Amino acid sequence: MAAACAGAPGSGTFKGPSCPPPSGAERIGAGVGRMSNLVLERGEGSWVYTDDGERYLDFSTGIGVVSLGHCHPKVMAAVHRQVDKIWHAQVGIGHHPQMLELTGKLQKIMPAGSNLDTFIFVTSGAEAVESAVKLARHATGKPNIIVFQGGYHGRTLLTMSMTTNKTIYRAGYGPHAPGIFVAPHPYYCDRPGKLADPTQWTVEQLELLLLTQTTKEETAALIIEPVLGEGGYVPPPEGLLKALRDFCNRRGLLFIVDEVQTGFGRTGRMFAVERYGVSPDILVFAKGVASGLPLAGIAASRALMDAQPAGCQGGTYAGNAVACAAANATIEVMSEEGFFQNVEERGMQLTQGLQVLQQANPELIREVRGPGLMIGVEFNDQKVEKGFASKVSKACLSRGMIVLSTGVFETLRLIPPLTVSSSECQHALAVLEAAIKEAASGALNSRL
């Protein structure tokens, strides 16, 4: 493996950033990128441990997947119980108890006032987005889909064609799927604050899009992430989601929200749309639903779901029994009293700590943003070198903390477990301060 990289846990020496590839890595395709050569052997709560004894504070949670932290005891117990019964009860053959239980739990936690009472399960977020598009096209009889600049919806041919946050996901794969039309997102057109009313401007651009690119008669749906994920951890301007809901109602489009990264507590609510007082026609979920086991799906009304014939949706591993058991346990933990209070408090702790760093060096940190524990830190790309956010990420790794960059505007994203403690957040802030100072040395006159 990578024994030569061992650093003493707690000593402040972490050799992970300079680890050579472990044996076996040479047989993994070059198209799969990763931030390090760490061999992660086990995890517990907010921490992961390598095969050579290093311990890292995980503020990536597998890109927002292990929302309850690694190996949460209640989820782990549910998985162990299910493994002794049946692993794979294929959904096209029959029902299984864990899925039937999950449909009831999901119905209870859907956004208040919504009619999202029927579900389809798949395996990944990209599959779920495709399922939503397939449902929208069946239900409306119309082919086209409107997406937003900066959105990330997956890596399959269709969802890659819908993804516009980075060209790396699309370049070299053309021709792309037809019927996808991209609307401008106010974040990308409002830097640095040129739009007087970003919400009104966005709706005006959508109306123009219907006049110049695709008519409402041939457009099935509009899809948006309530908070941009891979596009920079960008919350919507005030009133945007309500305005989009009204636009869809007025023009006869279905309103789809992609809650793959925002759902299941990440923003301090079970679903991000609850923060903004809207309800979609189709809600897409994945990532945090099963605490790291592969499970995803869509929610819609029974009337909408009934527009599809039997057999047109599904998949071999869809709604896996063990993954559904993990999802049931995950929802139970998230439904416990005080759970979301911790998310809000830890989110505020991190946000305020980062704002102190921003106030100390405003020419370096442009913005700290995001609800709950979905926090973006955007650096001033007019002042720092290209790749600065990745440089900070590597400096964090050398101090025993995993943090990811995101978007095209030098942004870090903090995605800690929703169960993260106050002391762990304080430790993370100290690591970030030191890492930013290191990355900034020589780049500008830092006062950190």
Q: CATH code at 60?
A: 3.90.1150.10
Answer yes or no: do 248 and 343 share one domain. Answer: no
pLDDT at residue 237, as a whole number: 94
pLDDT at residue 5, as a whole number: 58
The per-residue pLDDT for range 386-433, each reduced to its tens digit, is 999 999 999 999 999 999 999 999 999 999 999 999 999 999 999 999
**Boundary (domain end) residue, out of 313, 334, 355:** 334
Q: What is the CATH number of the domain that holds 171?
A: 3.40.640.10
Which structural domain, as residue segments, surrounds residue 306? 75-334
* Alpha carbons 387 and 401: distance in angstroms, whole number: 18
The sheet carrying 180-183 orders its strands as 118-122, 296-300, 282-285, 254-258, 219-224, 144-148, 180-183
Q: Does the residue 447 lie in any domain?
A: no
How many other CB atoms are found less than 10 A from the CB of residue 234?
Answer: 24
Tokens of 419: 């169960």
* Alpha carbons 167 and 149: distance in angstroms, whole number: 12
What is the mean predicted confidence (pLDDT) over 247-275? 98
Answer yes or no: do 251 and 397 share one domain. Answer: no
**Boundary (domain end) residue, out of 300, 334, 368:** 334
The per-residue pLDDT for range 91-145, each reduced to its tens digit, is 999 999 999 999 999 999 999 989 999 999 999 999 999 999 999 999 999 999 9
Question: What is the pLDDT confidence band of residue 35, given thresholds at 50, 70 and 90?
Answer: confident
pLDDT at residue 192, as a whole number: 60
What is the mean predicted confidence (pLDDT) over 341-345? 97
Phi, then psi, of 133 in degrees rounded to 5: -65, -40
Domain count, the chain: 2
pLDDT reading at 20 higher than 50: yes
**Boundary (domain end) residue, out of 314, 334, 354:** 334
pLDDT at residue 23, as a whole number: 86
pLDDT at residue 194, as a whole number: 78
Question: What is the pLDDT confidence band of residue 244, given thresholds at 50, 70 and 90?
Answer: very high
The per-residue pLDDT for range 191-208, each reduced to its tens digit, is 666 788 999 999 999 999
* Alpha carbons 230 and 413: distance in angstroms, whole number: 9
pLDDT at residue 444, as a whole number: 52
Question: What is the pLDDT confidence band of residue 3, given thresholds at 50, 70 and 90?
Answer: very low
Ramachandran sector of residue 259 (left: φ over 0; alpha: ψ -120 to 50; beta: rest):
alpha
Query: What is the DSSP code (8-state) at residue 228?
Result: B
List residues bridging with 254 in a β-sheet. Answer: 221
DSSP code string of 343-395: HHHHHHHHHHHHHHHHHH-TTTEEEEE-STT-EEEEE-TTTS-TTHHHHHHHH
Answer yes or no: do 249 and 210 share one domain. Answer: yes
Tokens of 124: 């990944």
Q: Does the residue 445 lie in any domain?
A: no
Phi, then psi, of 42 in degrees rounded to 5: -155, 165
pLDDT reading at 88 higher than 80: yes
Predicted TM-score (pTM) above 0.85: yes
Task: Tell me the CB-side half-sphere exposure of residue 239, using CA atoms within 13 A.
Answer: 10
Q: Does the residue 446 lie in any domain?
A: no
Q: Does the residue 448 lie in any domain?
A: no
**Distance of alpha carbon 62 from its chain centroid, rounded?**
10
Answer yes or no: do 67 and 111 share one domain. Answer: no
Answer yes or no: do 132 and 20 share one domain. Answer: no
